[in-house]
Amino acid sequence: MDIQLEKKKGLKLKHYGYIALGILLLFVGYKLIFASSMSTFRTEKERLSISTVTNGKFDDYITINGNVAPIATIYMDAYEGGRVSEKLIEEGSMVKKGDIILKLENMALYEQILASESNLALKQNDLRSTKLTFDSRQVEGRKSLATAQYDVQRLKRAHEQNKELYEEELVSKEVYLKAKEDYELAQKQYEIVKLQTEQDDELRETSLKGLDADLERMQKTLSMVYERLDHLNVRAPADGQLGFLDAEIGQNISQGQRIGQINVLTDFKIEADIDEHYIDRVKRDLSATLERNGNEFKLRLRKVYPEVRNGRFRVDLVFVDERPETIRAGQSYNIRLQLGESNDALLLPKGGFFQSTGGQWVFVINPDGNEAIRRNVRLGKQNSRYYEVLEGLQPGEQVITSNYDSFGDAERIVLK
């Protein structure tokens, strides 16, 4: 009896074809559904700036624009107020320290000087009169002291003679006692005259010292007033160029008012404004380079101003060695400021996209070149040409680097 064999169940070759086709349809459907769910913006490829991510050497520098300024500026403020009577030097002229630039006149100051001179003359007269009085008393006191001393010597001698005569009973006791009492009285009077003379001398010395001190103070005061009078001549505080002068003949100048400045031209510095993005990295003594007519000149960052205005802060740079021969105040230069050492890195050319995204994401073009998809990235340092790519991009990928403002909230860019 013949046994009928059952056919084995399983996938045949044609079934594998059906499965592959199904998977392909599912993938295409998924792509279509996913693409349709993404917000899309369509634009012409030629209107965009497209850059390629590359490996290379990242130079850690920034390019800044600076203006040449004098190495120092000295401001001139009016020590004394007054009316401008004469203007001797014009703006832009070279001056030497001490040159008179302006002459002022101040009637109130003139009157004060006359009053001070009168007071000093009166004080000098008082001092002379007092000295004459003390000198006269000193002479009289010395005469009285000399007379008292003479009386003591004379009466002492008489007393000693009468004492001897009394002991020999040649004079009476009354005569002896009278001579003794006269001598003792003369001694007491001498002591009194001597004490009075010493006190007069001390009083004279003390009084004259006080008067001399008063006179010296008045003389100093008068000297200061004379200095104020000299300050009516506005002088150059240093050698240099008179930068500006805000004063005209007949104009009233107030005390302390700024009327001009002197630019010290012994050397120059460069003033530059830098974006506040770099404020944590810009430090004193950083190196910089200025290129002029094919020559490079080394600079050093001398000062960083802490104040930030309109998103920028100011720095001063000075020349290390040589400086351009034709350099003039007010000239503008592009300067390369070195922030750190060069290193190998993944580089993305700079573009306007950074203002739109802050460097947090970019549009990366697919290999076919027909669309770009938004992708998160992480950028590091930047110089005038490149951003340093830390994450999110690979060498050879193309990125839209022009401004993204017109794309709105699109996550996908279709390129025509």
C-alpha 242/C-alpha 263 separation (Å) is: 6
pLDDT at 225: 77
The CATH number assigned to the domain with range 37-56+343-415 reads 2.40.420.20
In this predicted structure, the answer to whether residue 312 has a pLDDT above a threshold of 60 is yes
The pTM assigned to this predicted structure is 0.52
Between 317 and 327, name the one with better pLDDT.
Answer: 317
pLDDT tens-digit map of 122-144:
877 887 787 888 888 888 888 88
Q: Which pLDDT score is estimated for 15?
A: 57
Give the pLDDT of residue 317.
94
Residue 230 has which token pair?
């000299």
Say if residue 3's pLDDT is above 60: no
pLDDT tens for 37-76 read 578 899 988 889 999 999 999 888 888 999 998 888 889 9
Write down the pLDDT at residue 14: 55
**Tokens coding 247:** 């004063």
Mean pLDDT for the stretch of residues 107-126: 82
Provide the CATH number for the domain formed by 61-69+265-338 in this structure. 2.40.30.170
Predicted confidence (pLDDT) at residue 396 exceeds the cutoff of 90 = yes
d(CA 336, CA 274): 12
Q: How confident is the model at residue 34 (pLDDT cuts 50, 70, 90)?
A: very low
The region of weakest confidence among 161-165, 198-202, 357-361, 401-405 is 198-202
pLDDT number for residue 382: 85
pLDDT digit string, tens, across residues 242-295: 988 988 999 999 998 999 999 888 888 999 999 888 888 899 999 999 888 888
Average pLDDT over residues 16-30: 61
Looking at residue 56, its amino acid is G
